[in-house]
Amino acid sequence: MAARTSPVVRGATGSSATIAGVPARSSIRVATSATVNSITPSRASGAGGGSELHAVRVRARRHRLHPFLDRPGPVAIAHRGGAGEAPENTPEAFGAAVALGYRYLETDAHVSRDGVVVAFHDPRLDDRTDRTAAIAALTVAEVQAADAGCVFSADGGRSFPFRGRGVRIPRLEELLLRWPEARVNIDPKADACVEPLVALIDRVDAWDRVGIGSFSDRRLDRIRTLSGGLACTSMGPRAVAGARAAALCGPIPRAGADCVQVAPRSGRIAIVASGFVRAAHRAGLPVHVWTVNAESSMHELLDLGVDGIMTDRPRLLRDVFAARGLEVTGERTRVGASATPQADRPWRDRRAAPPRADPRRGLEEDAACGYPQLRRATRACGRPDLAGGTASSCGCRPFRPGHRRRLATQVERFRCRNTEAGKRSRDV
C-alpha cells in the first residue's frame, strides 16, 4: 500500500492549518519533531517506513501522557453522550452533556456504504431508530433519514419525548467540528471502519483530542500503525487479560497502549481493584472505567484512584464529582470542598511514583513506600521468571516463598495459554 503523507511531517515544520474555523493543534507533532526529522524521506516512505515512524513516535512520548489524557484530576466521560438522558449518540445527547460542563464524550463508529463514518453503536438501525437496515448497506443520506429519537424513553416507555422531532444520526466529522474543545473517545465497531476513521481524524487534525478504544486488539494495532503513532489508544481484551495477570506480581506491560479502559468486573472476576490501579499507574497508564451508573460504584471507583468514569447518567456523575470537590473536566480539585480525606490531596500526589528498578536483584521498588515489588522478566521462550522481595515497615503484605510460587504458576499458565511465545515453548 502506498505510504500516505504523515500529518506529523507537516506539523514538524511548525506550520498551522485551519479547518472550518477550528485551529490546528500540534502538541504531539512539536514534541516529536526533532526525532521524526532524523528519519530520511526514503526511509519514511519505503517498505516498513510507517512502522518505523510509529516506533519512533512511541519512544518519543514514552514518559509523558498523550494530550488526550493530560488532565490533572479524574475525568467524567459521557457514554454515548449520556444514553440515559437523551437518545444515544445524537447531537441532542452530546449537546446536553457539553451544557452540563462535560469535556469528555464517548461514542461509537460505523461506516456507511459510501464511506462516511457515522456515530452509532449497533451495526443495524433496527433497535434504535424507525428503520430496519444495516448501516454498511445504506448511504449516509439514508442513514440520516432515520429517526434516531424514535424509541428513546426516560420513563420506561410511558412517553417518547424525542420521537418525530428530527433527531438524526450524526456524522462523526460533525461531532469533532461542532465541539472543538471536547475530547472524544471513539470505539470503531467494524474492521471496515478503521481506515476511514484514521483518514477523518487526519483530515480534521484531531489526534490530540481523540482517544480510541476497541474490543479488537487487531483493530487497535491497525490504528496505531496507520496513525504513525499519533493515536491515543486503550488496551484491547487480550492486553487487558495480560495486564490483570501481570498486576498480581508487579507492573503491567503497556502493550502499545496509552491507557486502560475496562469494566469494573468481567462476570465474577473483579478487574478494577486497588492493586490493578496501582500497577497501571506504575506503568504510566491512566485507568478509565465503563459503564458506571450507580452512585455507590462511582464513589468506590474514585476512592480507588481511577482516572476516568464513563456513565449513561451524566447529571448523577456530575453531582458525585461536585460532592467530592472535583471538576468533571478533570481540572484540579476545588479548594475546601472535600467529601473524603483523599480529595484534600492533589490528584497527582495520590498516584504511585515511577518505579525504580534494580536489575541486579530483579526487584521493582515502589518509591511511595519503599517496598520491593515483584518484577517479571521473560526468558527466551517467553515464560516469566519472578523474583520477590521482603516486607518493609509500611505494612505492605510480604511475598512469602509459597506465595511467589503460586503467582509464578498463575502468570506462566496464562502466558502459555494465551501468547504465541507460550505456544512456541510448548511446541519445543
Angle at 422 between CA 418 and CA 425, to 5 degrees: 155
Predicted confidence (pLDDT) at residue 6 exceeds the cutoff of 50: no
- Residues with Cβ within 8 Å of 82's Cβ and at least 6 positions away in sequence, in order, are 88, 93, 96, 97, 311, 312, 313, 314
Cell digits for 386? Answer: 519472578
pLDDT at 251: 77
Q: Answer with the residue of higher pLDDT: 143 or 331.
A: 143
Q: Write the pLDDT tens digit of every residue in 103-149.
A: 999 999 999 999 999 999 999 999 999 999 999 999 999 999 999 99
Work out the average pLDDT over 21-38.
Answer: 42
Work out the average pLDDT over 21-48.
Answer: 41
- Per-residue buried b or exposed e for 229-263, using 16+ beta carbons within 10 Å of the residue's own CB: bbbbbbbbeebbbbbbbbbbbbbbebbbbbbbbbe
Work out the average pLDDT over 161-168.
Answer: 96
Q: Above pLDDT 90, what percent of the chain?
A: 59
Predicted confidence (pLDDT) at residue 342 exceeds the cutoff of 90: no
Predicted confidence (pLDDT) at residue 188 exceeds the cutoff of 60: yes
* Of 27-31, 41-45, 156-160, the least confident: 41-45
Element (H, E) at 376: strand 371-378
Q: Above pLDDT 70, what percent of the chain?
A: 63
In this structure, the dihedral spanned by the alpha carbons of residues 300, 316, 102 and 199, taken in order and rounded to 10 degrees, is: 80
pLDDT at 28: 46
pLDDT at 406: 56
* Domain ranges for the chain: 7-64, 75-349, 356-427
Question: What does the alpha-carbon distance between residue 353 and residue 416 come to, in Å, rounded to a whole number?
Answer: 31
Q: Give catalytic status of residue 63 as yes or no.
A: no
How high does pLDDT run on average in the chain?
A: 76
Q: Write the pLDDT tens digit of every residue in 63-115.
A: 578 999 999 999 999 999 999 999 999 999 999 999 999 999 999 999 999 99
Q: Using alpha carbons, select from 104, 416, 83, 373 the residue that is nearest to residue 251.
A: 373
Predicted confidence (pLDDT) at residue 396 exceeds the cutoff of 80: no
pLDDT at 64: 74
Q: Write the pLDDT tens digit of every residue in 36-64.
A: 444 333 334 444 445 555 554 444 445 57
pLDDT at 247: 92
Question: What does the alpha-carbon distance between residue 255 and residue 240 come to, in Å, rounded to a whole number?
Answer: 9
Predicted confidence (pLDDT) at residue 352 exceeds the cutoff of 50: no
Q: Give catalytic status of residue 121 as yes or no.
A: yes
Predicted confidence (pLDDT) at residue 201 exceeds the cutoff of 90: yes
Predicted confidence (pLDDT) at residue 223 exceeds the cutoff of 60: yes
Predicted confidence (pLDDT) at residue 218 exceeds the cutoff of 90: yes
Secondary structure class of 335 (helix, strand, coil) = coil
pLDDT at 411: 54
Active-site option among 54, 63, 110, 121: 121
Work out the average pLDDT over 240-245.
Answer: 93
Cell digits for 55? Answer: 516506533
- Residues with Cβ within 8 Å of 292's Cβ and at least 6 positions away in sequence, in order, are 264, 298, 301, 309, 310, 311, 317
CATH of the structural domain 75-349, one choice from 3.40.50.300, 3.20.20.190, 3.40.50.1580, 3.60.15.10: 3.20.20.190
Predicted confidence (pLDDT) at residue 356 exceeds the cutoff of 50: no
pLDDT at 332: 67
Q: Answer with the residue of higher pLDDT: 217 or 334.
A: 217
Q: Write the pLDDT tens digit of every residue in 252-302.
A: 999 999 999 999 998 888 999 999 999 999 999 999 999 999 999 999 999
Active-site option among 54, 66, 79, 288: 79
pTM score over 0.75: no
Predicted confidence (pLDDT) at residue 166 exceeds the cutoff of 90: yes
